[in-house]
Amino acid sequence: MNDIKELIRKVFDEIEYKIKDFSFVDTNDKLLNESLFIQNTNKKTYYLILFLEDEKLLHNLVKNQSRYFYLLKEFFGEDPNIEKNTSILILINSKNVSEKIIFNIEENPYYFRKYILQYSDAEFNEMKNVYSEKISTTGILKVFNEIISDVNLFANFKINPDSEKVYSFVSRIFIKLSVLGLNVENKQVNSLRAMIDDALEKKKLYIKKQKIDEIKFKYKKTNDDISEEYQINDELLEELINLVEYKE
From the CB of residue 221, how many other CB atoms can be counted at a distance below 10 Å? Answer: 18
Residue 128: exposure state from Cβ atoms within 10 A (0-12, 13-18, ≥19): middle
Rounded distance, CA 88 to CA 46, Å? 9
Domain parsing of the chain, residue ranges: 4-119, 185-248
How many residues in total does the chain contain?
248
Q: Which secondary structure element, helix H or strand E, spans residue 37, and what is its range?
A: strand 36-40
pTM, two decimal places: 0.74
Per-residue pLDDT 10s for the chain (248 aa) are 789 999 999 999 999 999 999 999 999 999 999 999 999 988 889 999 999 988 888 988 999 999 999 999 899 877 888 888 999 999 999 988 988 899 999 999 899 999 999 999 999 999 999 999 999 999 999 999 999 888 888 888 888 877 889 999 999 998 898 888 765 544 445 555 555 555 555 555 555 555 555 544 343 334 344 333 333 345 545 554 554 443 43
Beta strands in 59-212 (DSSP E): 86-93, 113-119
